[in-house]
Amino acid sequence: MSIDQIAPPEGTVRAETDGDVATLVLDRSAKLNALTPEMLDALEAALRAVAAGDARVVVVRGAGPKAFCVGADINRFASLSSVEMWREWTARGHRVFDLLASLRQPTVAVVHGVAAGGGLELALACDFRIVTTDARLSLPEVGLGTVPGWGGTERLTELVGRARAKQIVLARQQVDGPTAAAWGLATECPAPDAAEEAVTDLVDRLSGGSPIAVQIAKQLIDAAAEGAPSRVLEALGGGLASATEDLIEGMRAFHERRAPHFRGL
């Protein structure tokens, strides 16, 4: 039976915009924001809208107090055949998470409570992860008889190294917020009551730079991580940035000793 033939449970992805910030909220708190095919489709649609829009920063959250996201809804893939799992479920998640990872805008995952399996993989696809001290992160798939399927083995290894990735995946070690920060898995690790302040501060810093320069720089860093030569790409990126009105504004603001007003032009 195809995953699309099963009656979808409640749950969606809410997209909210406040000024230069687009916020995507996994909204299925009764099921700890477990991801369904329909939620992946809604997330993909929201990401494509963000990619086509003018938002400078994208924030990803999970609804409710208990979890960022517990991963894929097991009930939705347990009955799939191996071909359906490969063709529909795994491919779907990779397509959506790759789209998130490739957004030109910087992305911030705000992780609280449980982030397990596909939920952690979703956070890994973001540029920044603000993880509260009481959060619990894991990739427990081998305990179910399967493996991480939405980019976790690659993105986790890139962040924490091979040995610690094996500790999380093979030994199923659950990682708390402070450990995640120490291992490089979390960008910041505030107490739960200080999380919103940390998010606001990071978003303000990200949106305060020239949006064109920020987005070029993000692509340069991602390309460098894949082995692209900086001497070539930085020249091209710098050439593009030099043709923008934002550079003129930035230089003028520097000489006038004031904060720049970037318009993304």
* Catalytic residue positions, numbered: 121, 141
Provide CB contacts within 8 A for 234, sequence distance 6+.
220
How far from each other are the two terminal CA atoms of the chain, in whole angstroms? 50
Q: Are strands 128-131 and 12-18 parallel, antiparallel or unpaired?
A: unpaired
Provide CB contacts within 8 A for 119, sequence distance 6+.
33, 35, 62, 67, 68, 69, 70, 71
215-249 burial code (b ≥16 CB/10 A, e <16): bbbbebeebeeeeeeeeebeeebeeebeebebbeb
Residue identified by tokens 């940390």 is 198
Q: Which two tokens stand for residue 130?
A: 């603000």
